[in-house]
Amino acid sequence: MRISGEVKPGFESVRDLFQRSLSPARDKNVQLCVYVGEERAVDLWASSGDDRFSADSLVNVFSSGKSIESILMGALVDQGLLDFTQPVSTYWPEFVGDGKDAMTVADVMRHEAGLAQLEVSLSATQLETSALKQNSVGHILEKHPLNFPEGSSPREYHAVTRGWIVNEIFRRIEPGQRTMGEFLREQISEPLGIDVYFDINADEADRLSRVQPRGLMSQLLDSFSPGSQARRIGLTPVELFKRARRVLAAASGNRRPALAVPVKGIKTEGFGVFDSPEYLQAQISSAGAKCSARGLAKLAAAMAGGGETQGHRVLGQLALNALHAEPVERSMTIMENRFTQGGLAQFKESDAAIGPLEAGMSAGRGGFYGWLGLGGSVFQWHPEHRIGFAYVPTALNPIDVFNERGKSYQEEILRCVAAMA
């Protein structure tokens, strides 16, 4: 594979790991970017046969976009406009009835809204900025009954729908009544000079590198490797596949077949539908953010650096405190997860004591906050060591529920930082 980029002194082992880990049979296009403090310590990218792919290419990072949603909600906290502990109806008066009255914004951010799957599939035109401002999605959510998972935990992964709910709350509070996509572009991406978007224009679409789901058999063969995370924690490939199917069901809307898939076209086009031309101007923030690793890593560096990087402030201390506060641990889909009131996952090395799945998710990324995306992407930050991390692949590995490749780079970065302390 063609490998480009550079690393700063002290991070050579990350480049070595990057080179060893790549395989033309398994990887297509990959970006890895890491800030330590305000310095870009790692900036690598690789491609298998795509001469147009570069560090400036855009890739759909799927659920890594959820941490961007959290940052945007934090911007409203900074302005004194939002309190995560308040009911959603405080900001959205029509969002009441059928148990919605008591639902807090924190419930939504923690995937406890009871709206993981809807009765209707949304089209691209319903999700464009102009339509959102005409309440194209809001009126559906206002009338939709809640449907919580069976069992004691109210938490169910809102793989696609969380972003739609959050966007409706956001645009009702934001003084200019902008959607999250508009605010992100105008207040964060353009001032910081980063490629981080929820919807993209024609020029940006020309830089899009489309995701390519890997075949099921090749993923299963990888899971047989003794070095794989699943094998190290005692999961057989069959067990891993069963658990991965539950994650994919949440993302594709198949957990309750009587309800609808989240967006029209997903049954025929699969997850590639989010990269299809008709959806490029749609706002699907929880599953369709188009970003580069450079852009995400710089934004993560701001989050790790007290809300500011290279003279640009993204959030103040009030928002940072609120976003990272009140982590609540509950079972979600296949394992225990810890989400703050701002919707950020908190990773701890001690999660290994909970069970093997939790160990597989958190070991090597202890101290990081943020989230990860279907099939491989990671967008996280480490406040203690001021690390901003982003890993962006185009070859999707949906069975890899731990985003293992990205986690191996996080672990190596932590080793390098510790050695330099």
Q: DSSP string of 319-349?
A: HHHHHH---EEEEETTEEEEE-TTS-EE--G
Q: In what order do the strands lie in the sheet with 29-36?
A: 2-7, 39-47, 29-36, 387-393, 378-382, 369-372, 345-346, 335-339, 328-332
**Of 18, 86, 66, 120, residue with least CA distance to 393:** 18
Mean pLDDT of the region 379-400: 91
Which residues make Cβ contacts (< 8 Å) with residue 10, sequence separation at least 6?
Answer: 41, 416, 419, 420
Q: What is the pLDDT of residues 216-261, one digit of tens each?
A: 545 444 544 545 544 444 455 555 555 555 555 555 555 555 556 7
Q: Does the pLDDT of residue 308 top 80, yes or no?
A: yes
Write down the mean pLDDT value for the chain.
Answer: 89
3-state secondary structure of 82: coil
Which residues make Cβ contacts (< 8 Å) with residue 54, sequence separation at least 6?
Answer: 4, 45
Look at 37-46, 70-79, 108-117, 220-229 and tell me which has the smallest mean pLDDT.
220-229
Confidence of residue 403 (pLDDT cuts 50, 70, 90): confident
CA–CA dist 61, 208 (Å, integer)? 12
Mean pLDDT of the region 397-404: 75
Q: What is the pLDDT of residues 49-84, one digit of tens each?
A: 899 999 999 999 999 999 999 999 999 999 999 999
Q: What is the pLDDT of residues 282-292, one digit of tens each?
A: 999 999 999 99
CA–CA dist 130, 277 (Å, integer)? 17
Mean pLDDT of the region 408-419: 97
Look at 164-178, 232-246, 320-334, 336-350 and tell me which has the smallest mean pLDDT.
232-246
Mean pLDDT of the region 194-206: 97
Q: Locate tokens 């692949």: which residue?
A: 393
The fraction of the chain above a pLDDT of 70, given in percent, is 88
Which residues make Cβ contacts (< 8 Å) with residue 47, sequence separation at least 6?
Answer: 1, 2, 28, 29, 30, 53
Q: What is the pLDDT of residues 126-156, one digit of tens each?
A: 999 999 999 999 999 999 999 998 887 899 9
Both tokens of 303, joined, read 């989050």
The fraction of the chain above a pLDDT of 90, given in percent, is 71
What does DSSP say about strands 212-213 and 395-396: parallel, antiparallel, or unpaired?
A: parallel
Confidence of residue 93 (pLDDT cuts 50, 70, 90): very high
CA–CA dist 19, 285 (Å, integer)? 31
Q: Does the pLDDT of residue 297 top 90, yes or no?
A: yes
The reported pLDDT for the residue numbered 224 is: 44
Q: Does the pLDDT of residue 362 top 60, yes or no?
A: yes
The reported pLDDT for the residue numbered 27 is: 85
Could you tell me the domains of the chain? 2-420 (3.40.710.10)
Q: What is the pLDDT of residues 24-35, one digit of tens each?
A: 877 899 999 999
The reported pLDDT for the residue numbered 182 is: 98
The reported pLDDT for the residue numbered 219 is: 46
Alpha helices per DSSP H over 82-236: 105-109, 129-132, 138-143, 161-173, 180-183, 190-192, 202-205, 216-223, 229-232
The reported pLDDT for the residue numbered 229 is: 46
pTM of the shown model: 0.91
Q: Does the pLDDT of residue 366 top 60, yes or no?
A: yes
CA–CA dist 363, 371 (Å, integer)? 14
Q: How crowded is residue 9: how many other Cβ atoms within 10 Å of its Cβ?
A: 7
Q: Does the pLDDT of residue 86 top 50, yes or no?
A: yes
